[in-house]
Amino acid sequence: MTDQRVDDAPSRRTHEVAVAAPAGKVFDLLADAVSWPRLFSSFVHLERAGTAGDAERLRMWTVSGGGIDTWTARRAVHPGDLRIEIGPERPHPPVTSLLRTFTVRPVVPDRCVVVLRHDYRTDGADPAAADAVARTIDGIATRELGELAAAAELECAHPELVLHLEDRVRTGGSAEDAFAFLCDADRWAERLPHVQSVSVTPGPPGAETVETVTLESRGGTLTTRVARVRLPAERALVFRHLLLPPIGRLHLVRWSVEEADGGAVLTARQSVVVDPDGAGRMLGAGTDLSVAVSFARSELSTKARLVLDAAAEFAGRPAR
């Protein structure tokens, strides 16, 4: 990734965190760019966008300042050194160049240290702005390293709390119509009986924040807020839950629609991390973790099927 190096940069900030997980496991999590939304709370979606020299290009959608931002970065992975370099193609002013380097250093077989180094330049016109950049970098590095450590340690120590769910529904209708139903969140209140209200805040093209109030089977209402990205070429929607019930530490979803046998197959894939303390607050003190996991599986699959079934029915109608 030589075209992104800034070894002569006047500014460098280095942070590190101890992780109670094997170095190889932590490096593999970092090296798998698609998994970054599982590791870092600001990421909604990443996808590969080709190569540039010895680096891969990644398009990213992140949550920023209550909205959604999208940008492209170049990344080089060095497995032999347990090192990853990544930097934006167009840094936000006053930053003129930025390279982030993650290095995983083994300590003992089940522990390691992750070092995150930022090498960067600013335009130098405003010292106060340069100080603000340094504070921002410190805040981001501290948050991301903490999130990385927590995610890696939980996946190693309590894999049973990490759920990957998949639900599928078939329809004889059009894949395009089914996908349109999933995209048209602002019409869900009139199309889905359990949806009370929906508020959609547009972001960059294809991205939006959606807040939904639903009627719950156990009574009352639940408000959810997601940042989501449309991927029309794949007939897919990916989203990250920004407002979670106590039982959840993480909730990522991908809806996709594929043509099949004269109709379409709608699929919901969900990645969820159950919060043991939150499960106790939500389901009652002393709730067994297996009960909490079973509850989460049932609730999330049921809600996914409500939307998929409605989309399938909508697509299968002869006229609308």
Collapsing DSSP states into helix, strand and coil, what is residue 282? helix
> Which two three-digit tokens encode residue 231?
């991927």
* Other C-beta atoms lying within 10 Å of the C-beta of residue 194: 16
Question: What are the residue ranges in the chain where pLDDT is below 70?
Answer: 1-9, 318-320
Report pLDDT for 318: 55
Report pLDDT for 5: 40
286-290: list long-range contacts, CB under 8 Å, 24+ apart: 289/160, 289/161, 290/160
Please state the domain extents for the chain.
Answer: 2-157, 160-316
Report pLDDT for 8: 44
Report pLDDT for 4: 42
Question: Mind listing the pLDDT tens digit for each residue in 65-106?
Answer: 778 999 999 999 999 999 999 999 999 899 999 999 999 999
> Which two three-digit tokens encode residue 199?
């508020």
Concatenate the DSSP letters of all residues of 212-227 into one string: EEEE-TTSSEEEEEEE
Report pLDDT for 120: 95
User: Which CATH class name applies to 2-157?
Assistant: alpha beta
The β-bridge relationship of strands 248-260 and 263-274 is antiparallel
Report pLDDT for 259: 95
> Which two three-digit tokens encode residue 73?
């970065």
Report pLDDT for 218: 74
Domains 2-157 and 160-316 share a fold: yes
Model pTM score: 0.90
Q: What is the CATH number of domain 160-316?
A: 3.30.530.20
**Residue recorded with tokens 């629609």:** 257
Identify each DSSP E strand in 187-286 by its residue range. 195-202, 207-215, 221-231, 236-243, 248-260, 263-274
Report pLDDT for 65: 79
